[in-house]
Amino acid sequence: MTEPAAPSGKPEISKLIAQYRPDMSPYEDLYRKLHANPELSLQEGTTAAEVASRLRSLGLEVRMSIGGHGVVGIFRNGIGKTVLLRAELDALPVQEQTGLEFASTKRMVDVADNVEKPVMHACGHDLHMSSLLAASKLLYSCRDFWAGTLLILFQPNEEHGAGAQAMVDDGLYDEGRHAIPKPDVVLGGHVISMRSGRVGTRKGPFNSAANSYKAVLYGRGGHGSRPHMTIDPVVLACSTVLKLQTIVSRESDPQEPVVVTVGALHAGEAENVISEEATLWINTRAFSIRSRDRTKAAIDRIINAECQAAGSPKPPLIEATGFFPLLYNDEATTEVVSQAFEAHFGKSFDPNSPASMGSEDFANLADPVSAPGCFWNYGGIDPQLWDDAKERGKLEEIPGIFTDNFLTCAGVTKADFPMQAITIRSSHLFFSHL
């Protein structure tokens, strides 16, 4: 087979995409199937079996049950670089309100707290999976134009920031165990609330590091009619929450982005009973180790001081509950990817996208083997919906990820899956020219 070459002698990847782009109907159907049948973190068994079956149908070697329900497809296509492409399997405990015919009505018992909850793909992982499978089909179809090894990885438990590390700890890159080669480069992307067709990345820090904590504040319980005989943990918790806000407003350098969020507060069960304790769930985000450590030290100092001021009967309990690493885009890798994106997407590509305070555990797939990585965002919102909202000055009305009515364009139209073009673009580039 021959393909017209660019002046440099490299195949024109846009032409490969146009020539080998698969029929998208089966992948649109798969998207709807996945959307209607989401599974919570650590319980993605049916979803994993579905993607594994699709990988086998392409003739790929498949490894399953890595770090939980992790799946890897391996396509060895001669001598060359090994490229890992990643998508995620899990969904969120959200009650869907999109009104779609294929909206999720599923409920599952969350193993994190043994509570039954509604489940929804409110973070776009259904789109990630279906579009990556479509990209795999495209890559397989144009295999005469590249050489190397392709790793198609479907990660469990991303929402808790633990799945990537669990796969590594389970011997992901131990060839003696899973026979999966170490990647030379790791690539991935995420759909966001942005106009479909738009793509963006940047060199250096791309997503913040995030840390989560649980803080238990102790009081002395009693009846609501005798507050003077108690130490009210609700009042203590409220004072603590307000004081924690000063970490960003009065202690952090305005030029170093930091976020401190108290996402949940629980104390008591009845309106006339003063409880024994209150629990805060705290989340922080930062782009540097210095900012992260300084923020944690401030949290410890403030909570302990507030408890002492309130006369708590014992010191508070503060424990870490979760961690997402800093997502840092390797400069050289991102430069090559950016050149390819710009050539293919033109003005729809932004090489200097703002860094996001959102977080990802993507880096845990690259850092353990010192592989360079590049991550990007791409739009998933129906263009007409986006343009109408923009014209009215109401872009804030478009639902974002993690909301109960988040809906990608794939849910309402036969629009293209953005990652299908993006993935072939970058992966072919690395196979042939890295």
Q: Is 323 exposed, middle or buried (0-12, 13-18, 19+ CB in 10 A)?
A: middle
In order of 55, 238, 355, 362, 364, the CA distances from 164 in angstroms are 20, 36, 22, 7, 6
pLDDT (average), residues 392-398: 94
**How many Cβ atoms sit within 10 Å of the Cβ of residue 214?**
15
* Torsion of the alpha carbons at 23, 24, 29 and 34, rounded to the nearest 10: 130
pLDDT (average), residues 67-83: 95
Could you tell me the pTM of the whole model? 0.90
Confidence bin at 327 (pLDDT 50/70/90)? very high
Map residue 180 onto helix, strand or coil.
Answer: coil
Of 395, 366, 362, nearest in space to 376 by CA: 362
Confidence bin at 208 (pLDDT 50/70/90)? very high
Summarize pLDDT for 2-29 with one digit per residue, the tens.
444 443 445 577 888 888 888 888 998 9
Confidence bin at 407 (pLDDT 50/70/90)? confident
State how far the Cα of 219 lies from the Cα of 230, in Å rounded to an integer: 7
Q: What pLDDT does residue 233 have?
A: 98
Confidence bin at 412 (pLDDT 50/70/90)? low
Phi then psi for residue 262, to 5 deg, are: -100, 100
Summarize pLDDT for 85-117 with one digit per residue, the tens.
999 999 999 999 999 999 999 999 999 899 999
Q: What pLDDT does residue 410 have?
A: 61
pLDDT (average), residues 213-222: 98
* H or E segment and range at residue 138: helix 125-141
Amino acid at position 50, single letter: E
Q: What pLDDT does residue 431 have?
A: 52
* H or E segment and range at residue 294: helix 289-310
State how far the Cα of 77 lies from the Cα of 97, in Å rounded to an integer: 44
Binding site, annotated residues for Mn(2+): 123, 125, 159, 190
State how far the Cα of 188 lies from the Cα of 178, in Å rounded to an integer: 22
Binding site, annotated residues: 123, 125, 159, 190
Amino acid at position 209, single letter: A
**Structural domains in the chain plus CATH codes:** 13-205+327-433 (3.40.630.10), 209-324 (3.30.70.360)
Confidence bin at 211 (pLDDT 50/70/90)? very high
Q: What pLDDT does residue 11 have?
A: 58
Confidence bin at 425 (pLDDT 50/70/90)? very low
State how far the Cα of 340 lies from the Cα of 348, in Å rounded to an integer: 13
Buried/exposed code over 188-208 (b: 16+ C-beta within 10 A; e: otherwise): bbbbbbbbbbbbbbbbebbbb
Summarize pLDDT for 232-291 with one digit per residue, the tens.
999 999 999 999 999 999 999 999 999 999 999 999 999 999 999 999 999 999 999 999
pLDDT (average), residues 218-236: 97
In order of 141, 152, 417, the CA distances from 23 in angstroms are 12, 20, 11
Map residue 260 onto helix, strand or coil.
Answer: strand
Q: What pLDDT does residue 196 have?
A: 87
Q: What pLDDT does residue 433 have?
A: 45
Q: How far is CA 217 from the centre of its chain?
A: 31
Confidence bin at 434 (pLDDT 50/70/90)? very low
Mean pLDDT of the chain: 90
Confidence bin at 411 (pLDDT 50/70/90)? low
Of 153, 187, 194, 243, nearest in space to 356 by CA: 194
* Torsion of the alpha carbons at 44, 36, 126 and 287, rounded to the nearest 10: -80
Summarize pLDDT for 122-174 with one digit per residue, the tens.
999 999 999 899 889 989 998 998 889 999 999 999 999 999 999 999 999 98
